[in-house]
Amino acid sequence: MTESLLERRARLLGPNMSTFYEEPVHLVRGEGVWLWDADGRQYLDCYNNVPHVGHCNPKVVKAICDQASTLNTHTRYLHEGILDYVEALTGTFGPKFDTALMCCTGSEANDVALRMAQALTGKTGVIATDHTYHGNTTAVHQLSRSNPPPGGYWESVAFVPAPDSYRPLGGEAGLAHGRAFAKEVEKQIAALEEKGFGFSALMLCPFFANEGFPDLPPGWLDPTVEVVRKAGGVIIADEVQPGFGRLGSHFWGHEKLGFTPDIVTIGKPMANGHPVAAVVAPRETMYEFRNNFRYFNTFAGNPVSCAAAMATLNVVLEDRLQENARLVGDYAKQGLQELAARHEAIGDVRGSGLFFGVELVTDRESKAPATAYTKQIANGMRQRGVLLNFLGKHYNVLKMRPPMVFTKANVDQVIETLDRVLAETPLG
């Protein structure tokens, strides 16, 4: 070829579209936890949560094909697919969450959730952590402090320090850390009220995935919930990453943290890669939102999307993948802890179920983030056939979040490869 794939990509998609890894992977096939590149090389996918029940899961593929060849329209006609799915979906929640609004992306779901909060409270002030990501629409992009919008943030958006169990706010870990977090939220609520926006919502990922998935005890958020309720605001739990059983111990992230949000948003893994997302909320909230904003989304909740989502949920439940996440995740954490005994760079091992990783430091005492090193390790893993990535406030946390069909044998491969890559990569 005279023009490389990367050159063609720059020409057709623009010159500054990001890729993973120093040497991007050109994928052509996927199955279960495996991916293959154009040269026939096989990779263990230890990163992608979207193919929740495995790449090209045959039951999901069949559901998509069957429905796509039967009917695909929109929700202004009646169709049982969306009703069957929403009934099954809300059945995985507590009784408070009895309705759902379907959309196509997690960004759309969060964009809607912010307006639901506005409809409920009549206020517009929103609080998020200073290292989160809730999506890419104009409105939710405002919540990404790591990615500031030109022209600055809306005055109605406020940030609180992202929780960090390895370096807790005020130096104290556990529930004290949670009380310190609540104080920060209280401060920002007062600031939003002072500015005249009032306080509408605190939006957070209940696993604080992008923040580096800190290790937080149940009850950690209770003081914050109290502060939010007292101020008349609502809590939006963005379950796009931790949801659908991934955390092993619970089906939803907010259950693990032990609180009940007011609005829940879900996305990525929901239909195994088919563009489906949703907002789950009490019926009264749904009513207020539609009454204030109306809402119609042509593609959302179409019969094919619902068939894909239903098949995915059925596989999660029938194949007991939450339990698999718990068992395999515990095994993985144990393996990582054993690695930590041999590799000084591993400062902390964290995770729950099939969302786990290690925080890399240049020095365990000072806990100085090994940011550049972490990037080297992620690239080294890719070169040795294991796909993972890194995130966190200092971008020094290796993030592993594989399809839910991950096995202990897959974990062995990750641990062995990581052992080797850490050993062969000198720490700065």
Footprint of a copy of itself on residues 359-378 (CB under 8 A)?
none
The answer to the question of residue 91 lying near a copy of itself (CB under 8 A) is: no
The answer to the question of residue 59 lying near a copy of itself (CB under 8 A) is: no
Region label for 244, one of left (φ > 0), alpha (ψ between -120 and 50) or beta (otherwise): left
Least distance CB 249 / a copy of itself (angstroms): 25
Residue 45 contacts residue 34 (beta carbons within 8 Å) = yes
CB within 8 A of 243, min separation 6: which ones?
251, 252, 253, 266, 269, 270
Q: Which is nearer to a copy of itself, 159 or 299 (CB)?
A: 299
| Interface stretch with a copy of itself, choices 62-70, 158-166, 179-187, 358-366 (CB under 8 A) | 62-70
Q: Would you state the torsion angle of the CA atoms of residues 337, 339, 341, 347, taken in this order, to the nearest 10 degrees?
A: -70
Among 73, 334, 337, 383, binds a copy of itself (CB under 8 A): 73
Least distance CB 82 / a copy of itself (angstroms): 7
| Interface stretch with a copy of itself, choices 98-106, 169-177, 229-237, 361-369 (CB under 8 A) | 98-106
| Interface stretch with a copy of itself, choices 95-103, 162-170, 331-339, 361-369 (CB under 8 A) | 95-103
Q: Which residues inside 253-282 make contact with a copy of itself, applying CB under 8 A? A: 267-268, 272-275
Residue 362 contacts residue 369 (beta carbons within 8 Å) = yes
Among 179, 290, 375, 408, binds a copy of itself (CB under 8 A): 290
| Interface stretch with a copy of itself, choices 118-126, 164-172, 360-368, 394-402 (CB under 8 A) | 118-126
Pairing of strands 99-103, 125-129: unpaired
Q: Provide the residue type at 364 as one letter.
A: R
- How is residue 170 annotated by DSSP? G
| Interface stretch with a copy of itself, choices 132-140, 167-175, 364-372, 412-420 (CB under 8 A) | 132-140
Among 39, 77, 152, 365, binds a copy of itself (CB under 8 A): 77
164 CA to centre of own chain? 17
Whole-angstrom Cα distance, residue 406 to residue 321?
9
The answer to the question of residue 152 lying near a copy of itself (CB under 8 A) is: no
Q: Environment class of residue 283 by beta-carbon count within 10 Å: exposed (0-12), middle (13-18) or buried (19+)? A: exposed
Least distance CB 403 / a copy of itself (angstroms): 11
The answer to the question of residue 1 lying near a copy of itself (CB under 8 A) is: no
The answer to the question of residue 283 lying near a copy of itself (CB under 8 A) is: yes
Q: Which is nearer to a copy of itself, 236 or 422 (CB)?
A: 236
The answer to the question of residue 101 lying near a copy of itself (CB under 8 A) is: yes
Whole-angstrom Cα distance, residue 164 to residue 177?
9
Whole-angstrom Cα distance, residue 31 to residue 105?
23
Among 44, 111, 203, 261, binds a copy of itself (CB under 8 A): 111
Q: Which residues inside 381-420 make contact with a copy of itself, applying CB under 8 A? A: none
Backbone φ and ψ of 182, nearest 5°: -60, -40
Q: Which is nearer to a copy of itself, 90 or 410 (CB)?
A: 90
Residue 163 contacts residue 174 (beta carbons within 8 Å) = no
The answer to the question of residue 12 lying near a copy of itself (CB under 8 A) is: yes
Pairing of strands 386-387, 42-45: parallel
Least distance CB 81 / a copy of itself (angstroms): 10
Whole-angstrom Cα distance, residue 297 to residue 302?
10
Question: Considering CB under 8 A, how many residues would be counted as binding a copy of itself?
Answer: 100
Q: Which is nearer to a copy of itself, 137 or 413 (CB)?
A: 137
Among 1, 2, 40, 78, binds a copy of itself (CB under 8 A): 78
Q: Which is nearer to a copy of itself, 58 or 428 (CB)?
A: 58
| Interface stretch with a copy of itself, choices 26-34, 209-217, 243-251, 406-414 (CB under 8 A) | 26-34
Inter-axis angle of helices 303-318 and 58-68, to 10 degrees?
A: 160
- How is residue 157 annotated by DSSP? E
The answer to the question of residue 226 lying near a copy of itself (CB under 8 A) is: no
Residue 268 contacts residue 257 (beta carbons within 8 Å) = no
Q: Provide the residue type at 173 as one letter.
A: A
Taking residue 362's Cβ as centre, other Cβ atoms within 10 Å add up to 18
Among 93, 153, 159, 299, binds a copy of itself (CB under 8 A): 299
Pairing of strands 34-37, 42-45: antiparallel
